[in-house]
Structure 1
Amino acid sequence: MRKLATALVLPALLLGANAQADTILGIYAGGQYWDTSNSGNFGSGNGTQGFNFADETQNSFYVALEHPIPLLPNFKVRRNDLTTYGVTTLGSDFSYNGIGYSAGTTLNSSVDLTHTDYTLYYEIFDNDLLSVDLGITAKQVDGLLAVRDATAENSLDADGWIPTGYAQVRVGIPATDLTLYGLANAVSIDDSSVRDIEAGIEYRLVDSLAVNLNLQLGYRDITIELDDLDNIYSDIQFKGPYLGLEIHF
């Protein structure tokens, strides 16, 4: 993990030397209503179990600060709700967190991978036609993975920090109020990986010197593959369309 953090931090520092600063102080705030289709499996120790996860609606909120100070990175914080529930009837014996469950047992599952992203980034390009941001993100996960039979719940905490690379690209469509954009947070360590990718189109509802208001329609995919991270194994995917609103002061 230390090697990964170093590998992410050093390029970010080098990028700072060539980064462009905002001409004035800018504050961005936004939120997204996300309709997710969820799939995957999780377990501990010996093997994982698939569950028929229900589709859910998730929320995401963020605030970003961009400033005119050269070399000092911009800052963004984003809160991501990430929960789902499922149920399965075991086709074979399954052990989770030291407790065994026999074939034929009906197990309910609860997944909570809600997390907060803290991002430091530089604006490599910044104009109406092309904007490119590069940086690093620290994902603070505060969740749990649980199963429940007819008698009791059995859960493992999913807490910790995950460093990822960060990139955002925005392309303005000339002579329109439309912008295409894509954003990614991703990392891979040994057999574990985290991928958070989204793309969409943005329409400028309000464009004035005081405030900009943007309507967003996009698609987001979060996949979390863990291999013996605090005895947790997982391959869980949340994906689907979202509707968002962003205001820029």
Structure 2
Amino acid sequence: MKKFTSIKLAIAAACLAASSAQADTILGLYAGAQYWQVEPEGQFGSSDDQQAAFNYDDDAQGSFYVALEHPVPLIPNIKIRQTQLEVAGSQNMSFNFNGTAFDGKVSTEADLSNTDLTLYYEVLDNGLASLDFGVTVKSLDGEIMVMDDDGTSEMQELTGYVPMGYLAAQVGLPLTGLSLYGDVSVLSIGDHSLTDYQAGIAYAFVDNIAVDISAQLGYRSFKLELDDLDGIHSDLEFSGAYAGLEVHF
């Protein structure tokens, strides 16, 4: 009788595990948020020979994303990520921006917040390692403002859609709940170059049939090298450590 009961329990457990695996294979939803401590650096201007470097303030930014994965062939998975990126700085200088001359203590405020739409395919996903590739379209809808103590100011909008190649990988460390991961989106056309990458370590502290929850710790860098995009020339980098949380249903 005990043997028969054990067999029934084993069959039930196997069926439950198979059901969970099938559900995850059919549809997977990921949602995450990251707290990013950004250290901005670099320079910008309205021409190559009129770029200025400011002493930027380090500041905390936020990033949020959702991703939907499915087993339908040829149709890509989708991920949407929104990143807040608002920085400010100042410097004593003589600076000409968009035809306006600034002198003395010159300040800048830049809003380079952006949204990524990524369509990607899984070329490897065996439970221990995964590898994805695809295309990211980064939507920029921001502005750069320059002002001085005399009340003179000049503003330049920076908007557009930038297609970028996308690659992501993750490797699990067996029996630890830990995994190493990273992803990169990159574009290099002529004198324009955009690179957005992150790498980190995740720890799955909840891992069951209903939901997986992981804590993240990593480093992210967003580099913007532009040659006359909407009148902006730049060599800017926003980088720093982040902490995050991801939920997988």
* TM value normalised by structure 1: 0.88
CA distance in 2, matches of 1:83, 1:237: 13
For residues 1-249 of structure 1, what are the structure 2 equivalents within 5 Å?
Answer: 23-45=25-47, 46-90=49-93, 93-102=94-103, 105-150=104-149, 151-249=151-249
AA in 1 matched with 2:157: D
CA distance in 1 between partners of 2:102 and 2:190 (Å): 30
**Pair member with larger Rg:** 2
In the TM superposition, what whole-angstrom CA distance separates every residue of 1:64-89 from its partner, at most 9, and x where no partner exists?
01012111000010000111100001
2-structure distance, mates of 1:101, 1:83:
22
The CA deviation at 1:174 is 1.4
Any idea what the Cα deviations from partners look like across 1:203-248, whole Å, max 9, x if unmatched? 0011011110010000111111111112100111111110000000
Shift of 1:131: 0.1
In the alignment, structure 1 segments of 5+ residues that lack a partner are: 1-21
What's the Cα RMSD here? 1.1
% identity of equivalent residues? 48
Q: Structure 1 runs of 4+ off > 3 angstroms? A: none
Counterpart-to-counterpart distance in 2, 1:31 and 1:206? 17
Shift of 1:180: 0.3
Measured after TM superposition, the shift of residue 153 of structure 1 is 2.2
Distance 2:29 2:127 in 1: 17
How many residue pairs get matched? 224
Question: How big is the shift at 1:32?
Answer: 0.1
Q: Is the Cα contact below 8 Å between 2:102 and 2:152 reproduced in 1?
A: no
How far, CA to CA, are the matches of 1:134 and 1:209 in structure 2?
27
Residue pair 2:166, 2:184 contacting (<8 A) in 1 also? yes
Determine if contact 2:200/2:219 at 8 Å carries over to the other structure. yes
